[in-house]
Amino acid sequence: MNKKFLFGVFIFLGLIGFLSMISAATFVNMVTPSNATGIQNISGSTYTLEAWINESADNVYIGNVSWYYQVWGSATWTLIGTTENTTNQSVFTKTWDTSALNGRNYTINATALNYDPTLFASGVNSTNITGNVTIDNTAPTIAVYGADGVTAYANGTSIKTAATFTNNLTLNISVTDAIFQTNSSDTWCFINVAGGLNHTVPYLENRWCNTSNINITDLSDGNNTINIYVNDTLNNMALNSTLVVQIDTTVPSASAVCSPSSVNIGDAFPCTCSTSDVTSGINSASSGGSTTSPDAITVVPSRTGVFTYTCSATDNGGLTASASATYTVSQPGGGDGPSGGTTWITHTISNDVFEAGYTKELSTSNRIRVQINSEDHYIGVLSTTATSATIQISSDPIQITLAAGEDAKVDVDVDGFYDVYVLLNGIIGSNADVTIQKINEEVPEGGTGVETTGDIETEETTGDDTSGGSSVWIWILIIAIILVIVAGSVKKKKK
C-alpha cells in the first residue's frame, strides 16, 4: 500500500477524531447571579455564560469560546463576546448584559475555537452548541376595579368614601403580563395603604387579585394614597397603580336664611341656601333649597301663608346635613303707610340689596319697602308721563317729579343725613325704571331734607294725599255759606 496514502488517511482520521471529541465534549451552561444553572427564562440583568470542555487533557488546542445570540427565528447573530483565555482550560466564561433586551425569545450559541497554528493555520470552528431563552424585564400591568367589578379606577383615581358607611375598601385587580405570564404559585399583589398598613393578596388562577379587606377604618380625613405593586414569575415588580382614597367623616355645613322673613305676593323670593364641605366637597346634584310653598323657589311668591324653607347639603362622601328657616307671604296692602288714598302694591328688598343699590321697573301705585334704622320707609311711583315720573318717598310723604336722568336724595328720618337716593333711569312703556340705594351723606349746612335735580311737588299739585280731600270740603263749605247769605237776602226783600 502506498505510504503517502496511509499517512493521509491517518491525518484525516486524527482530524475527525479531534473534531468529534470537541463536539461531544462542549456544552452550554448559563449561570445567573443567584447561581441557578441551565438555559431558562430570565429578567434583565448581567449573567455569566459558561462553556465547559470535558477531557481537558485532550483539549490542548482549545483556544477560546465565542458567544452569540439571535432573536428566535431571525437569521442574524449578534456577538456577545469572546473569552480571552491565555492558557488551556476546561471552563470558558463570559458576562452578558441583558438589560436592553426584552420581550423576546432568543437563541444563544457557544462556538468553541481552536487557535493553535501548529495544527491549523487559520484556526477552526470546532462546534456550535445552542439553547433558547426568554428574556422578560417588564413587570405585569394591572387594571383596578371597584366592588362591582365594572367601575375601573384609572391610575391616580380619587375614591371618595365616608368611613361611617364602610370600614373596608373592596378592590378587584386584574393582572396581565404580556411577555412571561404569571402563575398563582409565586405571584402576589402587594397593597400599601397610606404608607402604613400592608396587604398581601394572592394571585388567583384566573389572573385576579381580589380583596374586600383593605382596612380604612383608622385613616384620617382627607386624601390617603394606596399603592399597588405586582410581581411576575421572574420577580419583576413595579408600582403598578396609585389610588387616592378620600376619607370624609365630617358632615357638610348647611345654612338657610330668609331675609326679609316677611314678603308680599310679587316680591323676590327671600330665602337663600349656602352649603360647604372642607373635605370631599359638595355634591351639587344632591344639594340645594326647597320650600313647603306650592310655588317653586325660582319664581316670585304668588300664594300667601307661612312656609318653611329647607337647605340640604350632601357631600361627595355621602354625608348629609340640612337647615331650615320660615318666611311669610302676604297680600300687598293699601294705605299701610302715610300715603293717602293710593292703594299700593308693595315690594320688599333686603338691607343688603338696598345698600348695594336696586333697580326695578315700577308701574303706577307700585312701591318698594326698605328699612332705615329699623323703621319701614317706602319709595313708590304715583304717576308717569312719557318723559317723567312722580315719586313719593315716605313715611313723611315727599313727592318729587323726576325726568330721565334726574335724581334725588332725601333725609327721611330728619337726622341731618341723607338716607335714600333715587334715580329715574327712564320711562319704559308706562313704567318708571328707577334705581334706589341706601346712603349716609350729611346734609350740607343751610340745606334741606331734600336735594334733587327734579321738582319737589306740593300735595295740592299731585292731588294725592288727604289734603286734596280737605280742599274740596273747604270749597263746599264756602259755597254753602254763600247760598245761605243769598237765601237770607232774598227773604228780606220779600218782606
pLDDT surpassing 90 at residue 215: no
Helices and strands per DSSP (H, E), number in the chain: 4, 33
Length in residues, the chain: 495
Confidence band (pLDDT; 50, 70, 90) for 491?
low
Distances (CA, A) of 446 to 399, 408, 440, 452, 470: 21, 17, 18, 15, 32
- Residue 268: the pLDDT is 87
Short-list 387, 385, 380, 341, CA closest to 362: 380
User: Stretch 124-132: mean pLDDT, rounded?
Assistant: 58
Residue type, 229: Y
- Residue 2: the pLDDT is 41
User: Stretch 126-135: mean pLDDT, rounded?
Assistant: 66
Measure the CA–CA gap between 430 and 390, rounded to whole angstroms.
Answer: 12
Structural domains for the chain: 3-135 (2.60.40.10), 141-247 (2.60.40.10), 253-330 (2.60.40.10), 345-464 (2.60.98.10)
Q: What percent of the chain has pLDDT over 70?
A: 69
- Residue 323: the pLDDT is 95
- Reported as a single tens digit per residue, the pLDDT across 414-423 is 899 999 999 9
User: Which residues lie across from 398 on neighbouring strands?
Assistant: 393
Angle at 322 between CA 319 and CA 328, to 5 degrees: 165
- Reported as a single tens digit per residue, the pLDDT across 269-301 is 999 999 999 888 888 888 889 998 888 887 788
Measure the CA–CA gap between 26 and 51, rounded to whole angstroms.
Answer: 7
3-state secondary structure 164-191: CCCCEEEEEEEEECCCCCCCCCCCEEEE
Alpha-helix residue ranges (DSSP H) falling in 358-438: none
What integer best gives the mean pLDDT of the chain?
74
Of the listed ranges 25-34, 225-234, 358-367, the least confidently predicted one is 25-34
Confidence band (pLDDT; 50, 70, 90) for 28?
very low
Roughly how many angstroms between the first and final C-alpha of the chain, as a whole number? 206
- Residue 137: the pLDDT is 73
Measure the CA–CA gap between 373 and 115, rounded to whole angstroms.
Answer: 115
- Residue 1: the pLDDT is 45
Distances (CA, A) of 198 to 195, 213, 274, 424: 8, 11, 41, 73
Q: How many CB atoms lie within 10 A of CB 483?
A: 10
Question: Of the ranges 154-168, 435-449, 469-483, which is most confident?
Answer: 435-449
pLDDT surpassing 50 at residue 334: no
Confidence band (pLDDT; 50, 70, 90) for 184?
low
Question: Of the ranges 6-15, 142-151, 400-409, which is most confident?
Answer: 400-409
Measure the CA–CA gap between 19 and 112, rounded to whole angstroms.
Answer: 11
Which carries the bigger pLDDT value, residue 444 or residue 58? 444
Measure the CA–CA gap between 448 and 446, rounded to whole angstroms.
Answer: 7
The dihedral through the CA atoms of 140, 144, 148, 152 has a sign that is: negative
In sequence order, which residues have a C-beta less than 8 Å from that of residue 171 and are 6 or more positions away?
A: 144, 145, 146, 191, 210, 211, 214, 228
- Reported as a single tens digit per residue, the pLDDT across 351-409 is 888 999 999 989 888 889 898 988 889 999 999 999 999 999 987 889 999 999 999 99
Global pTM?
A: 0.45
- Residue 339: the pLDDT is 44
Measure the CA–CA gap between 202 and 270, rounded to whole angstroms.
Answer: 60
- Residue 495: the pLDDT is 52
Confidence band (pLDDT; 50, 70, 90) for 472?
low
The dihedral through the CA atoms of 203, 205, 206, 212 has a sign that is: negative
Short-list 174, 251, 162, CA closest to 206: 174
- Calculate Rg over the CA atoms of the chain: 51
Q: What percent of the chain has pLDDT over 90?
A: 20
Distances (CA, A) of 401 to 86, 390, 396, 443: 120, 4, 16, 21
pLDDT surpassing 50 at residue 129: yes
User: Is the bond into 260 cis (omega within 30 degrees of 0)?
Assistant: yes
- Residue 214: the pLDDT is 79
Confidence band (pLDDT; 50, 70, 90) for 487?
low
Of the listed ranges 31-40, 102-111, 334-343, 404-413, the least confidently predicted one is 31-40
